[in-house]
Amino acid sequence: MSWWWAGAIGAARKRFGEEDDAPPKHQSVALILGVTGIVGNSLAEILPLADTPGGPWKVYGVARRPRPAWNADHPIQYIQCDISAEEDAQSKLSVLTDVTHVFYVTWAHRPTELENCEVNRKMLGNVLNAVVPNSPDLKHICLQTGQKHYWGPFELSGKLSHDPPHHEDLPRLDAPNFYYVLEDLLFDEVKKKKEEGLTLTWSVHRPGTIHGFSPYSMMNIVGTLCDYAAICKHEGAPLRFPGIKDSWDGYSICSDADLIAEQEIWAAVDPYAKNEAFNVSNGDVFKWKHLWKILAEQFEVEAGEFEEEGERLTLQEMMKEKGPVWDEIVEKNNLQPTKLEDVGVWWFADVILGICYPLDSMNKSKEHGFLGFRNTHKAFISWIDEMKAHKIVP
């Protein structure tokens, strides 16, 4: 059995209540920055499993907020730390002297891309300054960016996009992009270590729209659509499609959070994957009109069709006054206490459903030895089930 299948099966096994016995001695020590994010949560689930390559793994998980209940079962050492604050990062991360692998899967969102560049440069810089000099056994840094590497920041709406399908050898676009800033910071750090006669390897991972589980994620399309569907069910309303025709009827791709985590772990331990950038998507294509029917079925609501006439619906407008409705849903169904503005990332869903999502190529990843994939339709249902199992939605 290929290891990425073993990891996926192990993660699924854990979701259904079977525990793996953790070996007492650790071969590798991971530091996950953004452990409550959509991929960080998958890493925290998969890395500690007994059959994960490079292991047994000891895992530190860093996030800005207190540890949430839905993350508490992962056998990791949780560290509450605001990495945008230099002093906090230094005091809490510099003492982790046994780190061998860094998984940087976090980001901060600001109104403009120039602001994104500044705040995200500061965050990664604080982590590197705290960890690299104090971790003598550090071997590898994994940096997660995304497909906007090829089509530019949201504010440009893909106006500078390369012609898809996007592959890793395409040049950078002539526009501000905090992904480029983070890559350059990482490459400079690797260069400095080389000049000191030390080897530090890297990998960059570029997912598309991520399907996964995290109520704290700023870009959780599945969770956001589950919240919308739950409100429709509560109000007895049809599940109207808040997007454009190209999105409804055109081909899209996405990236499963567990698959991303598996690729990142593979790149961290496989010699043939070192010092490379990789796209990571499920390996199939889908249409939103098909996922829309699945979403409606899972919440037992009427699936709306694409509405040809009138102005485009947006979730930001439709959900503007729904906070009290969500409070009723939470109370009625004894859900985890959440506020709608925290779990519904309406702006992001409007962006994704308002574009014809560009396709990518997974050839490089496969040629280097990573053959993992996901069936998007089946995985979509599993993430909806995860939202329900953690009582985020009814």
Burial of 46 per CB tally in 10 Å (0-12, 13-18, 19+) = buried
Structure tokens at 4: 């990425």
Cβ contact 190:200 at 8 Å: yes
CB atoms within 10 A of CB 161: 17
Q: How far is CA 41 from CA 32, 170, 221, 290, in A?
A: 9, 30, 15, 27
Secondary structure, 3-state, the chain: CCHHHHHHHHHHHHHCCCCCCCCCCCCEEEEEECCCCHHHHHHHHHCCCCCCCCCCEEEEEEECCCCCHHHCCCCCEEEECCCCCHHHHHHHHCCCCCCCEEEECCCCCCCCHHHHHHHHHHHHHHHHHHHHHHCCCCCEEEEECCCHHHHCCHHHCCCCCCCCCECCCCCCCCCCCHHHHHHHHHHHHHHHHHHCCCCCEEEEEEECCEECCCCCCCCCHHHHHHHHHHHHHHHCCCECCCCCHHHHHCCECCEEHHHHHHHHHHHHHCHHHCCEEEEECCCCCECHHHHHHHHHHHHCCCECCCCCCCCCCCHHHHCCCCHHHHHHHHHHCCCCCCCHHHHCCHHHHHHHCCCCCCCECCHHHHHCCCCCCCCHHHHHHHHHHHHHHCCCCC
The one catalytic residue among 58, 139, 148, 233 = 148
Structure tokens at 90: 């230094």
The one catalytic residue among 150, 179, 228, 357 = 179
| 179 annotated active-site | yes
Cα angle 168, 171, 176; round to 5:
110
Q: Tell me the CA end-to-end span of the chain in Å, nearest whole number.
A: 36
| 60 annotated active-site | no
Tell me which residues are annotated as active site: 148, 179
